[in-house]
Amino acid sequence: MTNERVAVVTGGASGIGRQTALKFARKGDQVVVADFNEEAGNKTVELIKAEGGEAIFVKTDVSKFEDVESLVEKAVDTFGRIDVMFNNAGIGRITPVLDQDLDDYHSVINVNQHGVAHGIIAAGRKMRELGIKGVIINTASVFGFLASPGTFAYHATKGAVIMMTKSAALELAAYGIRVVAVAPGAVDTPIIQGYKDSGQLDSMKAKVMGNKLTQPEQIADTVYLVSLEEASAINGSVVMADEGYASFK
Ligand code: NAI
């Protein structure tokens, strides 16, 4: 049985986003891959098509609201609707707080926090307009509530994602739209390169059950499960996909 939904995935050119785009497509969804990395975003579309799935790429900078609005428009123009919005694009930087470059600080906030806000607002408005009882899923992190050195701006954004999820869920319930956050722990994608370089990776891995990095496919599976109608009771929640990272000392 296939879903035949339309799913938009930001950050779909790499890591968690690429695997989630593939997962949705394998389950029969039409997928809109959004990213500002055009080459790698088109590669995700190629991978989906090679498996017989349906997808398009839309070059998007999630930190710009007009880009995210036109992404949602493009999804509806192409496939007729939007059922799932996965606000996942993100960046990370490791810098001691007092040595923080302010431009870097602002760019992390612009992508990770404002990018998610843009996705919630643009997709929520469109779902409301079309009367679609969809689901908006936001990528948070265990770093939304646990502090680690050198990631001041990142923590700020992931904490914000958690509270924006709860706040939006409360209001969008009136339209039958769910808003949920998924919080990964330590996932093997390019974004953790800074941890590899700084030598912090081993202590991160040690907090994950089995002392190994989580694979992006595992997060994709979680996002997919949360997106299903069978998960209708999950709303405003932070679904941990961290293999115990935040649960054990
Ligand atoms: P990744 O680096 O593999 O993928 C991030 C994607 O976002 C890239 O394709 C990048 O081009 C895209 N992107 C960055 N800025 C963008 C912008 N302004 N507009 C559009 N696209 C943009 O990293 P990963 O791990 O797949 O990250 C996905 C999400 O998961 C991020 O929100 C990250 O914070 C979160 N996360 C990752 C964890 C990990 O251990 N890898 C742990 C917890 C959360």
Question: What share of the chain in percent tops pLDDT 70?
Answer: 99
SS3 for the chain is CCCCCEEEEECCCCHHHHHHHHHHHHCCCEEEEEECCHHHHHHHHHHHHHCCCEEEEEECCCCCHHHHHHHHHHHHHHHCCCCEEEECCCCCCCECHHHCCHHHHHHHHHHHHHHHHHHHHHHHHHHHHHCCCCEEEEECCHHHCCCCCCEHHHHHHHHHHHHHHHHHHHHHHHHCCEEEEEEECCECCHHHHHHHHHCCHHHHHHCCCCCCCECHHHHHHHHHHHHCHHHCCCCCCEEEECCCCCCCC
Question: Can you give the pLDDT at residue 232?
Answer: 97
| Average pLDDT over every residue of 219-227 | 98
Average pLDDT of the segment spanning 195-205: 83
Least confident of 112-126, 139-153, 191-205, 216-230: 191-205
- How far, in Å, is the centroid of ligand 1 from the Cα of 40? 13
- What torsion do the CA atoms of 108, 145, 239, 87 make, to the nearest 10 degrees? -10
Structure confidence at residue 195 (pLDDT)? 82
> What pLDDT score was predicted for residue 197?
83
198 vs 44, higher pLDDT:
44
Check pocket membership of 215 for ligand 1, CB cut-off 6 A: no
Q: Domain coordinates of the chain in residue numbers? A: 6-242
- Mean pLDDT over the full length of the chain: 96
**What confidence tens digit (pLDDT) does each residue in 5-44 have?**
999 999 999 999 999 999 999 999 999 999 999 999 999 9
Distance (Å) from CA 112 to ligand 1 centroid: 9
Count CA within 13 A, CB hemisphere, residue 30. 14
Categorize the per-residue pLDDT at 196 as very low, low, confident or very high, splitting at 50, 70 and 90: confident
Span 6-242: which CATH code? 3.40.50.720
Ligand 1 atom closest to residue 185's alpha carbon, by position in its atom list: 42
pLDDT (tens digit per residue) in 95-115 = 999 999 999 999 999 999 999
Rounded to whole angstroms, the Cα distance separating 29 from 123 reads: 17
Q: Is the distance from the beta carbon of residue 17 to the nearest atom of ligand 1 less than 6 Å?
A: yes
Reading the block at residue 239, the tokens are 């679904």
Distance 188 CA to ligand 1 centre (A): 11
Q: How far is the CA of 111 from the centre of ligand 1 (A)?
A: 9
CA-nearest residue for atom 41, ligand 1, is: 187
State which of 16, 158, 193, 212 you would mutate to test the pocket of ligand 1, scoring each by most atoms of that ligand within 8 A of its C-beta: 16
pLDDT band at 209 (very low <50, low <70, confident <90, very high): confident
Confirm or reject: Cβ of 113 under 6 Å from ligand 1.
no
Whole-number pLDDT of residue 2: 61
Closest ligand 1 atom, CA of 41?
Answer: 9
Tokens (6 digits) for 11 = 């950050």
30-35 β-sheet, strand order: 54-59, 30-35, 6-10, 84-87, 135-139, 178-184, 238-241
Mean pLDDT score, 123-138:
98
